[in-house]
Amino acid sequence: MSGPSTTRHLLSIDDLDGDTIRAILARSRDLAAGAQSRARGAIAALLFFSPSTRTQYGFQSSVLRAGGGVISVDLENSRAGSNWGESLADTARVLSGFADLAVIRHSEADGVYDFAEACTIPVINAGNGMGLRAEHPTQALIDLFTIEKAFGRIDGLKILIIGGTHLRAFRSQIRALAHFPQVELFVLCPDKFWMEFADAEHYRRAGIRFTRIGHLDEVKRNVDVIYHNGITERRGEPVDSFYALDRAKLSEMRADAIVMHSLPRVEDLAHDVDGMPQARYFEQAHNGVPVRAAIIEHLLAAQRE
């Protein structure tokens, strides 16, 4: 098949309006409580051109638990990988006949968009590199679900995000949180990783509000959520201890607050936080199973319309 696709994809969190985000969260709650999946028998093609544990195997788990099947594209032994290098567009055209939806992570922001343009099945962006088009929309939905699960609501909460505002997850998170206008959002980020002008302009035009702070101590006794989102995507790059979390720094946080992290962690989150009752990051990763199942149901239903 050729020609531009009219299939509905999830490439940016902006592909979902606020009502749809709320519906996905509600359905995630039902699925987490044991509701029968509406995606039974669906086949997902998974293409991970860059490393992933939570997103890759979380999607696998979602589909398998829903009674579906997975084509996990082996980049070493398929034409799509570096050994042969079949184009993303041709790979997309072929997989569109083999699966009901595709999940792709790529190191280039445009790679996911090129793939989706040629696909006639729904495509989910599982993280697309760095740069202005880079996002991680399913991470943002998992984050919202985790917060709502802990507090029974999102609106009205005070949330601190620590980390690089240039990272794809942040770009999706801040847009997703904007659908909850009573959220008070604080951001702690080193100058080196502060957002580009184009991102700042986008947030300003979209009316997305946040307060930049200079030190954890400014808000740690008051916020409901302390979310460390990672400082850099580059493994081995040293983390400034000023921006790292440990039990001592968090000792004065509220007893009913929660600590989140998108993981994997490096020196940005000490292991001594794991035993704190506020630590929710492993539960956050596990929440990916019902949330991704709800996303898949939503896209398959939209495809049938």
Whichever of 41 and 51 has its CB closer to ligand CP, that residue is 51
Task: Write down the least CB distance from residue 205 to ligand CP, Å.
Answer: 28
Tell me which residue of 119, 102, 59, 99 sits closest to 294, measured CA to CA. 59
223 to 282, contacts with ligand CP by CB under 6 A? 262-264
What distance in Å separates the CA atoms of residue 90 and residue 114, rounded to the nearest whole number? 10
DSSP state letters, 20-80? HHHHHHHHHHHHHTTPPPS-TT-EEEEEESS--SHHHHHHHHHHHHTT-EEEE--SSSSTT
Task: Write down the least CB distance from residue 59 to ligand CP, Å.
Answer: 9
Binding of residue 32 to ligand CP (CB under 6 A): no
Q: Would the CA dihedral through 195, 196, 200, 202 be positive or negative?
A: negative
36 to 55, contacts with ligand CP by CB under 6 A? 52-55
Task: Write down the least CB distance from residue 254 to ligand CP, Å.
Answer: 25
76 to 95, contacts with ligand CP by CB under 6 A? none
Binding of residue 130 to ligand CP (CB under 6 A): no
Binding of residue 139 to ligand CP (CB under 6 A): yes
Whichever of 5 and 127 has its CB closer to ligand CP, that residue is 127
Task: Write down the least CB distance from residue 114 to ligand CP, Å.
Answer: 21
Task: Write down the least CB distance from residue 123 to ligand CP, Å.
Answer: 17
What distance in Å separates the CA atoms of residue 108 and residue 142, rounded to the nearest whole number? 23
Judged by DSSP in three states, 178 sits in: coil
Binding of residue 72 to ligand CP (CB under 6 A): no
198 by Cβ neighbours in 10 Å (0-12 / 13-18 / 19+) ranks as exposed
Binding region for ligand CP (CB under 6 A):
52-55, 127, 139, 262-264
